[in-house]
Structure 1
Amino acid sequence: MKHSSERLAFAAPRLISAGLLCVSLSGCMVGPNYHAPAVPAPPSYKEPAPASTIAVPAGETWWKVFNDATLDELEKQAIAANPDIQIAVAHVDQADAVRRSVHSAQLPTVTAGASVSRNREAQQRPNNGNTYGHAATYNDFQLPLSLSYEIDAWGRIRRMVQSATASQQATEADLRFVRLSVAASVATDYYTLREADADINIVQTTLVDLERGYEITNNQFRRGLISELAVRQAQTILDQTRARVEALHIQRSQSEHAIAVLLGRPVAGFVIVEAITLPRPPVIPAGVPADLLGRRPDIASAERSAAAASAQIGVARAAYLPQISLTGFAGYESTNPASILNWQNSIASMAASAVAPIFTGGRLKANVDQAQASYRESVGQYEKTVLTAYQDVEDQLAALHYLSRQFDAENNAVADAKRAEEIANNRYNTGLVSYLDVVFAQQTLLSNQEISTQVQGQRLVATVALIRALGGSWNK
């Protein structure tokens, strides 16, 4: 025990000095300190933004503002089972594992081992004094505990941790963006499907009237009251309308198939019950452009990617400086396993080393240049993402503004077409015109009703697109 105390007393000052050296050196970090890139933020949007006090639902379930139970259930299933979301979750897990792996480099690495060997040394080997010039055969048993530690004197490892942490945060933002995009895609396909449902109902209702009109026109032709031309015109309108129904069924089927895939389900067996009415879209407040910087996950991802690239500049610059390491081991060694744990058979060693580059053929400078270029690229990507976000909101505000005016005009056109149909019926009943005039009036009414329904569907889709452009939240 006396020898143990003496060794500890001898090693303690050195260990304390080495620790103080590590602390003093670790305060230095090469490379630039990151600041978020500055981007222009207009005071308001160019396109008219309607005022609204509608609140965003809690928990980022923005689709609840549409008050549609079917949509709510579809969104719930998509968030739980969409393959793209599952892939994004895996990316987050990978990035977190990388961050933890890089962070571990800040701590010492300790390993334990055991070795057994049997050795024979030659008689005429150099420095053969221990065996008096004879050959020697012996066993060697070792139980070492090894330690290695890189002193982060220049902040290389800390910059690596910063970069890995920022990259992980970027993947978390990517996950939020994927969830937002999937939810928006479900809502878009859903209202495209509902638009087809409403159109099919309108066309099928008109189809009944057109079939009756064709029968009346054909009967008039058979009685010699009108020419065959009128019959063929009525037949043409009827066939065109039947073809329109089939085209709408294609649109509905494809939208239903797309929703099934978004929900992570096979198309076979997936059915959405028909609904013949379209709701009015909710009015979403747009706020101001600067709000997007804190709301949109793609902007957050681009900013975190820039932070990760900035930290890599420090990693590249630290390669110019010496890499300082501590290594050591302690344990036991003996030729006899029975006495290996005796104190006299203990072994220990501690060493420090510093390795500095002298000539690398320009590799280190090239690595710094590459890191700086990557950072400039990430800043440019961040600025582009912000500008694109502004554009996305402006596009949807413009769409909603003009679609609202178009919807009002189409409603007026539908009312006018209904009145024209009534006049045509009255004139036919009084014998002033043939029933073909009524058929033409019905065709005009159908066309305007379809356009009105399509515009209403486009307003719903544009509202979904505006919510996506706003980052899935507002009023906060």
Structure 2
Amino acid sequence: MKILKPILISTILALAATSCMVGPKLEKPVVPAEEQFRFDSVAGDSMINLAWWELFSEPELDTMIYLALEHNQDILIAMSRIEQAYAVLGVSKADLYPQFGYDISGSYGNPSTAGTGTGAGGMVNITPNVYWELDFWGKVRRSNQAARAEIAASEEALRMVQIGIITAVADGYFQLLDFDQRLAIAHHTWETRMESLWIIEQRFDKGMVPEIDLNQAQQQEAIAATAIPAYERGVAQTENYLSILMGQNPRMLERGLLDEQVAPPDIPVGIPSELLERRPDLIKAEQEFYAETARIGMTQAMRFPSFSITGAFGLASSDLSSLLSSDALMYSVGGSILGPIFNWGRNKRRVDIQKETARQALYSYEQAVLNAFREVDDALIDVNTYGREVESRERQKLAATNAAVLSRARYDGGQTGYLEVLDTERSLFNAELETAAVKGAMFSSYLYLYKALGGGWITPEEEASAEETP
């Protein structure tokens, strides 16, 4: 009973001490937000929490994205970092509790025996022990808060990587369709110009057209031929890029056609304040601010004394035969207070450093919010303007096609010179290429709007929760 009494008193004191915790209270940073995005023309709640790429109805794209989510190395690294963050929290939580150990030692020797008449002897010790540093000022609890915030930040970092990979795959896919279409246009134009060159050559051989017409036809054929290898490079390199995103070796990929793609429906983006709860980069920055704020308490606790309790209970004897006797029983219970007296302001400056670090984290969060609002508005105006631009380019291509047909007929009828034919065919080639390019840009604008809104991959648990919410 005498042994347990000091241990019981120490434990009660330790539990009482845990009510004290220095450092600022963790509070959510407040950033002003507008009631509506500047270029948002669709009212309603956001529909962003879904597998938005499925709106494009492209099975090949769906397959690529799911392969990338499963095998992309950046995602695997982010998942590993979450496990690492949980391990760090486990280490930090262990500091809250007593640390148990043991000490087993033995010795034998013959020290100086002058005047004592003693001979050689030995000693055996078997001593379990306990050490407990009381978290009186909340240093360990603040460390746990920081570790939990780091876990949350790591989880949001994973979501950032997932959304980034999804967007990169979808953007690369539509870029690949763009290159495919431009390559097809270049091939078709080259074949048409080869036929025209053959006709001009026949007419030139018969003296029906001047040499300048032949030279101009040769130039136009070479221009079209030059475009083909450029787009072939674009196709191959984009396939390689997408293969790597999917964690695979470069290979040929199955895909659809750009002209078969249909733009998704208009997107209700919600209100700006919702963005703060949805975008993983903003949540990550917020959690990093919490972590740095919690560490202020850790540095403040270092300015105050630390309290610890030690205890040992075991056996000690100079004779193995008596090691288990009651005379060999020994115990000790003690406590210590260790604190700074004067260190030239080092601990105070350590607190100042951490306060500034937390302030920088807050500024980073505020800057991330402003950038997020800008990215959403930029993406909204891109969607709006690229859609109108595609319509204009389609009208331009239709007119250029008709003009090229009429011009060729006029030339064959001897009503105009070959220069007019060259000009209309050049305009048609450019119109077709520009239409393909702006179509690809239009689809990419939808991708970046989804990304800016924080949409992308959600877990099955989150999807089920969203379906249950009325």
Give me the TM-score of the superposition, normalised by structure 2.
0.92
Q: CA deviation at 1:357?
A: 0.7
Q: Is the CA contact 2:47–2:269 (under 8 Å) kept in the aligned structure 1?
A: no
Residue in structure 2 matching 1:192, options 175, 178, 184:
175
Q: Which amino acid aligns with 1:35?
A: E
Q: CA deviation at 1:265?
A: 2.2
1:391-402 maps to which residues of 2 (within 5 A)? 391-402=374-385
Q: Does 1:36 align with 2:28?
A: yes
* Partner Cα separation in structure 2 for residue 135 and residue 214 of structure 1: 120
Task: Give aligned-pair identity as a percent.
Answer: 27
Q: CA deviation at 1:314?
A: 0.4
Q: CA deviation at 1:228?
A: 1.0
* Partner Cα separation in structure 1 for residue 104 and residue 80 of structure 2: 38
Q: Which amino acid aligns with 1:244?
A: A
Residue in structure 1 matching 2:354, options 371, 380, 385:
371
Q: Secondary structure at the match of 1:121?
A: coil
Q: Which amino acid aligns with 1:36?
A: K
* Partner Cα separation in structure 2 for residue 469 and residue 426 of structure 1: 50
Q: Is the CA contact 1:213–1:436 (under 8 Å) kept in the aligned structure 2?
A: no
Larger mean CA deviation between 208-217 and 150-159 belongs to 208-217
Deviations 1:344-396 (A, max 9, x none): 31111110111121011221011101110110110011111111111111111
Q: Does 1:80 align with 2:76?
A: no
Residue in structure 1 matching 2:12, options 11, 17, 20:
20
Corresponding residue for 1:176?
A: 159
1:334-373 maps to which residues of 2 (within 5 A)? 334-373=317-356
* Partner Cα separation in structure 1 for residue 326 and residue 429 of structure 2: 101
Q: Secondary structure at the match of 2:32?
A: coil
Q: Is the CA contact 1:214–1:235 (under 8 Å) kept in the aligned structure 2?
A: yes
Residue in structure 2 matching 1:410, options 383, 386, 393:
393
Residue in structure 2 matching 1:226, options 198, 203, 209:
209
Q: Is the CA contact 2:48–2:450 (under 8 Å) kept in the aligned structure 1?
A: no
Q: Closer, same or farther in 2 for the Cα pair 1:50/1:85, shift >3 Å?
A: same
Corresponding residue for 1:100?
A: 90
Q: Secondary structure at the match of 2:343?
A: coil
* Partner Cα separation in structure 1 for residue 10 and residue 49 of structure 2: 57
Corresponding residue for 2:253?
A: 272
Q: Closer, same or farther in 2 for the Cα pair 1:51/1:280, shift >3 Å?
A: farther
Residue in structure 2 matching 1:68, options 58, 73, 91:
58
Q: Which amino acid aligns with 2:34?
A: P
Corresponding residue for 1:451?
A: 434
Q: Which amino acid aligns with 1:99?
A: L
Q: CA deviation at 1:437?
A: 3.7
The gaps in structure 2 that reach 5 residues or longer are none
Corresponding residue for 2:372?
A: 389
1:280-295 maps to which residues of 2 (within 5 A)? 280-282=262-264, 283-295=266-278
CA RMSD of aligned residues (A): 2.1
Larger mean CA deviation between 417-426 and 100-109 belongs to 417-426
Q: Closer, same or farther in 2 for the Cα pair 1:350/1:170, shift >3 Å?
A: same
Q: Closer, same or farther in 2 for the Cα pair 1:273/1:228, shift >3 Å?
A: farther
Corresponding residue for 1:115?
A: 105
Q: Is the CA contact 2:46–2:270 (under 8 Å) kept in the aligned structure 1?
A: no
Q: CA deviation at 1:57?
A: 6.8
Q: CA deviation at 1:136?
A: 4.3
Q: CA deviation at 1:150?
A: 0.8
Q: Is the CA contact 1:54–1:284 (under 8 Å) kept in the aligned structure 2?
A: yes
* Partner Cα separation in structure 2 for residue 348 and residue 20 of structure 1: 20
Q: Is the CA contact 1:57–1:65 (under 8 Å) kept in the aligned structure 2?
A: no
